[in-house]
Every structure is written in C-alpha cells, then in structure tokens.
Structure 1
C-alpha cells in the first residue's frame, strides 16, 4: 500500500491564551512555515518537551516538509472536529491538511500533515452517511433529478487513506467520474475510506476485508435494500486496490455490473517490488538502491515459509501487519473472477507504472471465454486515467488534469448497455 504522503508529528504547546484556537493554529503555521522562524516557534513549546525537540530538529522537519511539498502558500479553509482543527493548506506542489490538536487549556498538543479530509456542510443535500460495522461512512450521493437512467455506481478506492474523491495533489479522479456520470443521468455514491475518516479502527489485526471489502459490500447492500432505489441497477467501480479486491467484493455484494480500473491481478507484493525498481530507475536519488534492496528482502521473506501472521510489521513490505498479508496470501483473484456472472469492464492505462499490461493480460486471459467481459486499453493514460506524455513517474501526480473523456465515454456506454 503506497504511502503518498510523509507524516510529521510534533507535540507542541503555545503560551498565549489571548487568541482563539483557530487563530492560534494560523499563527503557529505562519511562524513555522512562512516566516521560518523556528526559534520563535520553539519558544512556544511546552517546557516538558522543549528539551526533547531541539531547534535544529525542528528546522530539519520544516526543511523536509517544504522540500517535499514546495513553498507554503496559504490556508484554504479550516474545519473543526472536537479538539482537532484541519487547516486545508496549499503548498507549491500539493494541497493537504495541517491537523492541529488542542487540549482543554487551548494549548496545541499535536501538529500533523495528513491527506485532505472532506467535511460535509450542514446544507449539503448530497451528503449521505451509511452505517458499516462500527462506523458511519461519510459520502456524497449524486442522483440526477432529470433524465435518470436508474443506474447507481458505488466507488471503491485504491490503496492508502483515500477520501471520497480519491484526491492526489490537485487531481480528483473519482469526482471527475461522478460528475460526468451525473451529466449523463447516472447516479453515484463515493465515500471516505475508513482509513481516512476513522484510522483508529484499523489495527495490527485488520485485513483487506476490514479496510475495503466489508465497507464496499455494506454500501452496495444499503442501496439494494433501500426502497428509494428498488428500480436501480447497482454497479460497483473499483480502482487499483479496489479493482484487485473486486472478485471478493462481487462474491458478497451481487451487483449488476463491475468496473475494474487499473486493477492488479498479481499478488500485491510482486506489484510493490516492480514499483520500487521502476521508481529507482527513473529517479535514483528519490528512491535509493538501499530501499529497493530492503523491499526485496521483505518480499522474499513474505514469500518464504518463515512468514506467519505473527511476523512483526517492521519485517514486512510497507509496514503492513502479518494479519493483513496473511489474508492476501489466501486470495486468488484470477480464480474468483471466473465465478462472477455479471458483465465486467476492465480499463488500463499504458502510462501506468503501478499496475501494468502484465496484470491487464492476466485478467484478459482468465476471462477469454467470457463474452460479456469488456477490455479497453488507453496508451496515453496514467494510473489515475489522466492523459500525459513522456516517461511516467510519480511527478505526474503533481500535474493537474482531469480524467480522460474517451475513457469516460466508454465507461458510460458500458453502464448504459
């Protein structure tokens, strides 16, 4: 599971009580990231931790943040959740939340950079919460009031703590797709992944079922059993990890159609190893050979007879738990996909270095006798189905774009057929 962002956690405390919490956070961000006055920021630390975080360490953290994200530009908006304040911030290369947590004395005790969290507005008629296990999933429901085709698409995310738009930098692939579906009379529901909205529910014992599958199934069942949608066809769209897990989702959800966007058919550890080797090849300085060798060692151990569910996560790829990897070892998507009786659409971009033609061909071969399965290859599209040129690399995600219209047209045709 690729880590898109580097997280930084600094426990701090401000002395001043004169400002409101929102202003305290804004002032601290400006002092640290705009003025770059680390000494002044350090003077605001609580005495109990000031000695543990020297000024030099604080400066290194700031340098690392700005080095990865570019210059800090401004705070776009501020959202509140209990004692936590999310400062949606724009940097030169990306936008994300600066999460600041206050204690009862209005002192800042947490400073964390996280992917942007979407907060539903009180008057947002498209907001919909759906109960799934121990949480309520928060999402956006778009239902055309005119020209409705009585089709509803449920979106299932790729890896990582994705929000409902599957935002990466300034790109919002799920939102692009949902908006285009809406224009064509097709309803949709996209929700914040639980590792984004409720990361505390994900533990060392959690598996891909807990992370992705169960929530997707519960959302599908919500619409299948809701009287307002009794005349609708429910369709599931999965991207990347969501597409990889689609055969297991289909076995439990029984939807009308399934859409696989850039889904890997190979074991995830094989995919990760290919990604590391590719990224090192195109940017050796960004991903040193030592990290490639480390992931090779971890993958080799995972594939050996020594691996067990109790293996420490530190010894496994991407720091995922033994329980997580053990679940995936028993999952055979190419076998399970053959049991799906509903029409399937497979889409793959030629500029995708994360999931490649190897996987696309494996799906295609597994379903060579299934006349309802549709396969579409898009030579110029990336992993998030945005058109590009040149050698594919992680830098592509920092270039603002929109999901390709040719793909969207094919997608709509499949849904309406």
Structure 2
C-alpha cells in the first residue's frame, strides 16, 4: 500500500522548479552531479541535474535506485566555493565546498540524520529502462476524457482506450492504490496501469484509467478524502462508461490494485451494474493488521534484527492508539508528538521537527484514520458479482495469505464465484523478483509479468462472454 511503507506509501511530486539565485562566475555548478549515501543496506546514489540560464539555476534531483526522477529542488546557492542545495519535498539538504572544478565534498542531511556525501560531475544520467511502457501510435482509440462526480461535484479526468471496430465490448475502470496517483499509477518509473490498459484494449476490452483527486487534471484533495470518497469517484466512472455507445453496460467491471482492491468491493456493493471485480494484491483483513505485517516484512527484508522489528511495532501501536482514541486532529497532533518522540519533541532541531510533523500529518489524515480501522470482510460478504483475486507470494506489502481471507469473506455471503491465483515469484507490483523488497521495484525493468496480464484478460473475457 503505497503511502505508509518505504517507497510505496510515499507520494513524491514530480515537478520542475526554477531557482533564482546569485551565482558566481566560477566555480560553475551547472551539470550533472552524482553522490552516494552509505546506508546499512548498501549505497544509495543521488543525482543533482543543474543548468544555468541567464545567471539562474534550474535544478532537479534523481534517486535512481528508488525510481525517483525530477524531484523538485528548492534554493541552490553558490557563495565563493561553498555549495548549498535544498530539497524540501523530502526534507533534505546538501551542503559542501568545491574540492576541484568537478567535485564537491560535503554532507547530506535528511530527517535529522547526516551523511558524508561527495559529489562528482558526470556526463550523462542513464535513463530508467521500462520496455513495457506503451508508446504511440496505438492500435486502438485513445481519448482524454472528463466527467463530474455528482456526489462531490468534483471534475475527474482520465484516459479511455477503446478497441477499434468493436461494438458492445466489455470495459473496466482502473482503481489506483493509496497515495496521490495519476492515471498510469506511476511508481518507481513504472506505469503499470498504462501497461494493463494497453494489453487489455488490444484484446478487446475498453479501459478507463483516471487521475486521483487533486492529481493531474482531476479536482479535489486526496489527503482529506477516504476510501469511501474514492468509491464514489469510481462509481462516477462506471456511470460515464454506461453512456458510451461502444460499451455493453452489462459488462462493466473494476480492476483495483492494493487499496484499489479494497475500494472495488465497496463500489460493487453500491451498484448492481458491476459485472465483476479484479483485486490485485487487495486486502482481505483490517488495515491495522495489514500495516503491522507490512512493516515487519519490509524491515526484515532490509536486514533489521528482530528486536528492531519488535521495537518498530511497539511504536506503531502507540501511534495507532492515539489515532483510534482521539478524534480531534489538533489534540491528536500533540499526543502523537508525545508518543513518537517520547516527550523529546520540544528539544529537537527544526529538521527533526519537520520530519516528525510530516509523519504525523500522514497518520492524522482522514484517509489514514479510515484505512486503519476499516475491515473489508463485511463488505466482501455483500459482493454478489464474480471476483478474481491475485497476489504474489513474495509480496511484502499485502501478504499472499490475504487470498484465503478474501475467499472466506466472499463465500460467507453465499457468493461462490470467486477465483484466486498465487504467483510464486512475484512482488506487490506483480514483477518477477528475487526477494519482494521494495528496493527491487525500481531496479527491475519488468513493469508487470505478461502472465499476470493474460490471466486477467482471460478471466474477464470468460466472465463477460455469456452476458
């Protein structure tokens, strides 16, 4: 689940910021600069891409191992031989001095931690290889669309891809995982929803994929919304598809990834017009349990000892107890500062306070409060349409054991039309992987295993062929 785990729940705005600053003629900071942060789990490369135009710097930052590119940079200062680069979006700052025209010695500070990092000038930044990402021209119709969610009044924007020369075809609405996601569900340089849409559309299935609230061209705010609000957005998408002449309104289904797999059943219980749902690593147990399991598995994969895993769980429990017991967000913020820092907040420096407050802002949000306490089983018991649930056995974010919980919950409502598939070598993104660790996501060129795509396609066509 993307927002509250390492890398997956973290949503980074990939934007471009022009920085105005007085720059000395020499030394020249323009160019690509690479440095390595030494962590217990290995080295993490950071790259600053800096250009100079009319005495002004334009700066962006990449973290290739995490699949992050073009992160917005704040102030870039060069005074004599000293260099300062601020990256407020991740609470980071680099400061150092030129040791030669092509090298800078300095320190990277982030979230109260300091690392020695020396930057060296490099000629080029190697692009991320994502061979499955579809490129135009497409062998199908692709149209930018907008529609209104009548419940919220918000405009939602997305892309619909329609097979050529096909009437009354089946269709799906894609539902992203947690965090502020665009219509392609961009993550670590991958565009899984674009890949899924391309494959399904080439096989006769219309696909609607949509920017989340407040992302791209959609209106609203993800952080102040809950899964219930997103369910209304999805239902608006279903109603939009029902008006398209190319689509059979009896054959409209849902595909949800991660939290999207939680939202799909909610939508299916709101409307009798949902023909099927596909849950990609969707949860079958309560959010609190998912988060405990997720944190422990990711920590172990990162090499942390058992005592650290248990210590982290106790910290989670303190945080979750505050969120569950204090409905007033202002009071909860003060209690969370106390719980997280164990009374040391007032004595911390500003960088550490910013890091703590950023964490608090996430867990004190409407979205997190809802997710933490939501149990999907009662909703799954009300789902009457066919269900396909897929999971990777190496998924560290939503364990494969959730498949059993999903089957049991759906069957408890006398719906026996539920199929599950376990993929033995797959992670949360359904990539073939080694360990399932989040750090692998960006390093793997494959966006999604073609076998997974085929399973989804065959199952949807089977469900809709008799309608």
Distance 1:321 1:185, change over 3 A: same
The 1:328/1:279 distance shift into structure 2, 3 A limit, reads closer
Structure label with greater radius of gyration = 2
Residue correspondences, number? 350
**Other-structure match for 2:416:** 371
- The alpha-carbon distance between structure 1 residues 317 and 148, as it changes in their structure 2 partners (threshold 3 A), is farther
Rounded Cα–Cα distance in structure 2 between residues aligned with 1:312 and 1:11: 34
User: Which position in structure 1 is the counterpart of 2:143?
Assistant: 126
Matched, 1:297 2:299: no
- Tell me by how many angstroms 1:317 deviates: 7.4
| Structure 2 partner of 1:213 | 231
| 3-state secondary structure, aligned to 2:178 | coil
Q: Deviation of residue 5 (structure 1)?
A: 5.1
Q: How does 1:373-388 map to 2 (within 5 A)?
A: 373-388=418-433
Shift of 1:401: 0.9
Question: Is residue 183 of structure 1 aligned with residue 202 of structure 2?
Answer: yes
- How far apart are 1:10 and its partner, in Å? 12
TM-score normalized with structure 1 length: 0.70
> What's the CA shift for 1:356?
0.7
Cα distance in structure 1, aligned partners of 2:375 and 2:313: 26
1:260-281 deviations in Å (ceiling 9; x for gaps): 1101121212211222222222
1:359 and 1:381 mapped to 2: Cα distance? Answer: 15
1:312 aligned onto 2:285: no
**Mapped contact 1:150–1:232 kept (Cα < 8 A):** no
CA distance in 2, matches of 1:73, 1:131: 39
Shift of 1:179: 1.0
Deviation per residue, 1:328-373 (Å, 9 max, x gap) = 4774421121222211111111110100123111111223453321
Which of 421, 439, 444 matches 1:395?
Answer: 439
Q: What is the aligned partner in structure 1 of residue 351 from structure 2?
A: none
Counterpart contact for 1:73–1:92, Cα < 8 Å: no
For the structure 1 residues 127 and 112, does the alpha-carbon distance in structure 2 shift closer, same or farther, using more than 3 Å as the test? farther
2:283 equivalent in structure 1: 264
2:46–2:61 contact (8 Å) kept in structure 1: no
Deviations 1:71-101 (A, max 9, x none): 34699xxxxxxxxxx9987653324344479
State how far apart, in whole Å, the 2-side matches of 1:140 and 1:4 are: 24
Distance 2:62 2:369 in 1: 39
Match of 1:96 in 2: 69
Deviations 1:232-261 (A, max 9, x none): 621111110011122212122431111111
Greater fraction of residues in strand: 2
User: Does residue 354 of the first structure (1) align with residue 397 of the second (2)?
Assistant: yes
Structure 1 residue 226: Cα displacement? 4.1
Q: Please name the residue that 2:47 is paired with.
A: 71
Contact 1:142–1:187 (8 Å) recurs in 2: yes
RMSD: 4.1
Q: Please give the alpha-carbon distance, in whole angstroms, between the structure 1 residues aligned to 2:50 and 2:417.
A: 50
Matches within 5 A, 1:2-401: 2=4, 3-4=9-10, 14=20, 31=29, 34=32, 70-72=46-48, 91-93=63-65, 94-99=67-72, 126-132=143-149, 133-146=152-165, 150-197=169-216, 201-202=220-221, 206-210=225-229, 212-229=230-247, 233-253=251-271, 254-284=273-303, 291-302=312-323, 306-308=325-327, 310=329, 312=332, 315=336, 319-321=362-364, 323-328=366-371, 331-368=374-411, 369-389=414-434, 391-398=435-442, 399-401=444-446
Change (3 A) 1:409 1:149: farther
Contact 2:14 2:69 in 1 (8 A): no
Deviations 1:302-331 (A, max 9, x none): 45xx34354535739772336445544774
Change in 2 beyond 3 A, CA 1:317/1:99: closer
Change (3 A) 1:33 1:200: farther
Q: Does the CA-based 8 Å contact 1:246-1:260 persist in structure 2?
A: yes
Consecutive unaligned residues in structure 1, runs of 5 or more:
17-29, 37-58, 76-85, 103-109, 115-120
Tell me if the contact between 1:182 and 1:188 (Cα under 8 Å) persists in the aligned partners.
yes
- In 1, distance between residues paired with 2:292 and 2:360? 9
| Structure 1 residues 186 and 301: CA distance shift in structure 2, 3 A | same
Judged with a 3 Å threshold, the aligned counterparts in structure 2 of structure 1 residues 344 and 195 are, in CA distance, closer, same or farther, namely same
Q: Structure 1 residues 165, 200: CA separation in 2 closer, same or farther (over 3 Å shift)?
A: closer
Worse-matched range after superposition: 245-254 or 154-163: 245-254
Q: How far has the Cα of 1:68 moved from its partner?
A: 5.4
219-228 vs 154-163, greater mean Cα deviation: 219-228
Distance 1:334 1:228, change over 3 A: same
Contact 1:9-1:112 at 8 Å conserved across structures = no
C-alpha distance in structure 1 between counterparts of 2:250 and 2:227, whole Å: 28
